[in-house]
Structure 1
Amino acid sequence: MQTLNIIGAGHLGKTLGRLWHQTGLFRIQSIHNRTLRSGQAAREFIGAGRACDTLQSMAEADYWLITCHDSEISALAERLSKRPDNREGTVFFHCSGALSSEVLDKLRPASIASAHPVHSFADPLRSLSSLPGSSVALEGDGPATHALGDAFSAIGCKIITIEARHKSLYHAGSVIACNYLTTLVDLSLRSFAAAGIERSSALKLLEPIVLQTAQNNMTLGPEKSLTGPIARGDLETVTAQVENLVSVDPQLACCYRHLGLACVALARRGPLSEESASRLIELLSEPSR
């Protein structure tokens, strides 16, 4: 069985480590986190491995999974390049969505790759059952991406390949759909709060429509899923909403207008008339009053 070391075993690293341990694909060997206590907690979650307090004390391994912060990866690669077991045949890979495998260049002649699971790892226990079926974007050296494709497929993930030069644009798409969706829910809750609706009630109100909207978009596409006042060209409703948002929360009004302009562009690909689109653009482009 091939061996795996994990550096920075947070939510993502712990999830992958446990799934690969449970499938018997890798023997989890050494785990190194910022603190030994954190590494020991990761080891307990994974159910295998040994927590190490330094890079130097980590054992040799066939694969090295790097899941630390993006800003730390380059310096970490420099430190790892000094290890005597950094040789051809070893695979180093990180899971950053924004950075390409090139940030690991210092680790050659080992094989390098990046593997980004398109998944929210907010809760590792939930991710153990929800990660299968998610896609993983791979790029890097051929031998590494081939082997990692097999490793992720073994835990039920789908594989897509991308070019290193497109990594940032790819990740921006993921951020908009995932992180910005979460931010939109928070903005929605702020608007409901201004209307006197408490958070728990607002979340219950939102759950069915948000989930249904997400399903509609995945099934029908955005053009056929868009509903609401902008899609209908309802200028009076949009005007009233902008004015009320400005009076209670200018930031909400600003977000509403900017998103509204993107919404108009989407609605134009449907039945929205050019006259209505022009009037909406004029309204949404106005500064806060």
Structure 2
Amino acid sequence: IGAGTVGTALSVRLSSKGYRVIAVSSRSQTSAQNLARRVSGCLALNNNQDVADAAELIFITTPDDAIASVASEIQWHRGQSVVHCSGADSTDTLEPAKKLGAQVGAFHPLQTFAGVKQAIENIPGSTFAVEAEEPLLSTLKDMATALGGNWIELKASDKVIYHASAVIACNYMVTLVKLATDLWQSFAIPPHQATQALMPLLRGTLNNIDKLALVFYNQIDSKLPAIDRLGGELVKIGILNNISRLDQIRPRRQQLKRYFECPLWLCRRG
């Protein structure tokens, strides 16, 4: 239920791994039809109850603020499983389904979904946060593995902190890249060229984090210089101990202040 980017990407990937995705409904019938065309044997149905009546395992992949209302509108029955894909909400959101005898769960792909094509490509290798009781819990773990991903099991009380971590890792990066590219305009380099120039550095930094972060985190309390390898440009510039360089930054302090406030705004939205 819900044929947006997440619902479409999961349907396509699950179908490719042998799961039968038999029906879809969405606020937009066009979106439902588009998803159905991508998945063999999937029917675009007119309403959410029809989807619930057709299947035993139902994913609610609507925006987070619609999950509770969708769950409360449907007449569930014992033996069904109902799963949402929110990173912030616990299975408490599905309490109406649970009261009618359905098992409830959460299955959140820890990934960014800018568009359907990118989402389908990004799912393999992702971690899925799962929350459920058995036997649904094992089903969701198996799904995560089938999708080429990993899984972590969370409790309801973990979800807010987990989601905050995802917001920091994803949205803050967008803010930092925007800040970095805009600074290049001070020497007349347009944003698209600045982004192109910075991308290899960004990829290299992420690669360093992937390869060296565990070492860094283990050593940071011992004050060993692993940070030099993770973020060499910071150390080379000497920004940490060369106060004179701040003079070059002061003329742009208002612009910098605006960007430093962006993560706070993004966090509030998250």
Report the TM range for the smaller structure's normalisation: 0.7 to 0.9
Match of 2:266 in 1: none
Shift of 1:240: 2.3
Distance in 1 (CA, whole Å) between partners of 2:49 and 2:261 is 53
Alpha carbons 2:128, 2:152 under 8 Å: kept: yes
Match of 1:236 in 2: 244
Distance in 2 (CA, whole Å) between partners of 1:148 and 1:79 is 24
The more displaced of 43-52 and 91-100 is 43-52
1:171-202 deviation per Cα after TM superposition (whole angstroms, max 9, x unaligned): 11011101221122122222222431112211
Select the structure with the greater relative contact order (CA < 8 A; seq sep ≥ 6): 2
Distance in 2 (CA, whole Å) between partners of 1:217 and 1:231 is 21
Aligned identity (percent) is 27
Alpha carbons 2:239, 2:245 under 8 Å: kept: no
Match of 1:175 in 2: 167
- Which one-letter code corresponds to 1:226 in the other structure? G
Structure 2 residues without counterparts, runs of 5 or longer: 221-226, 264-270
1:252 matches 2:245: no
Cα distance change on mapping 1:125 and 1:47 into 2, 3 Å: farther
| 76, 82, 98: which one aligns with 1:92 | 82
Distance in 2 (CA, whole Å) between partners of 1:215 and 1:75 is 42
Structure 1 residues without counterparts, runs of 5 or longer: 1-6, 260-289
Q: What secondary structure sits across from 2:54 in the alignment?
A: coil
Match of 2:223 in 1: none
Cα distance change on mapping 1:167 and 1:211 into 2, 3 Å: same
| 59, 65, 80: which one aligns with 1:65 | 59
Superposed CA RMSD in Å reads: 2.1
Shift of 1:77: 1.0
1:212-227 to 2 correspondences below 5 Å: 212-221=204-213, 224=227, 225-227=230-232
Match of 1:19 in 2: 13
Distance in 1 (CA, whole Å) between partners of 2:120 and 2:58 is 20
Alpha carbons 1:18, 1:47 under 8 Å: kept: no
1:267-282 to 2 correspondences below 5 Å: none
Which has more helix, going by share of residues? Answer: 2
- Which one-letter code corresponds to 1:185 in the other structure? V
How many residue pairs get matched?
Answer: 244
Alpha carbons 1:32, 1:51 under 8 Å: kept: yes
Alpha carbons 2:26, 2:48 under 8 Å: kept: no
Q: What secondary structure sits across from 2:77 in the alignment?
A: coil
1:1-289 to 2 correspondences below 5 Å: 7-25=1-19, 27-58=20-51, 59-80=53-74, 83=75, 86-108=76-98, 109-221=101-213, 224=227, 225-227=230-232, 228=234, 229=237, 232-241=240-249, 243-246=250-253, 250-256=254-260
Distance in 1 (CA, whole Å) between partners of 2:26 and 2:117 is 19
Distance in 1 (CA, whole Å) between partners of 2:262 and 2:71 is 40
Distance in 1 (CA, whole Å) between partners of 2:183 and 2:239 is 20
Q: TM-score, normalising length from structure 2?
A: 0.83
Q: TM-score, normalising length from structure 1?
A: 0.78
Q: What secondary structure sits across from 2:48 in the alignment?
A: coil
Larger Rg: 1 or 2?
A: 1
- Which one-letter code corresponds to 1:116 in the other structure? H
Distance in 2 (CA, whole Å) between partners of 1:171 and 1:156 is 22
Shift of 1:216: 1.2
Distance in 1 (CA, whole Å) between partners of 2:260 and 2:47 is 48
Cα distance change on mapping 1:216 and 1:21 into 2, 3 Å: same
Q: What secondary structure sits across from 1:209 in the alignment?
A: helix
Alpha carbons 2:23, 2:45 under 8 Å: kept: yes
The more displaced of 138-147 and 119-128 is 119-128
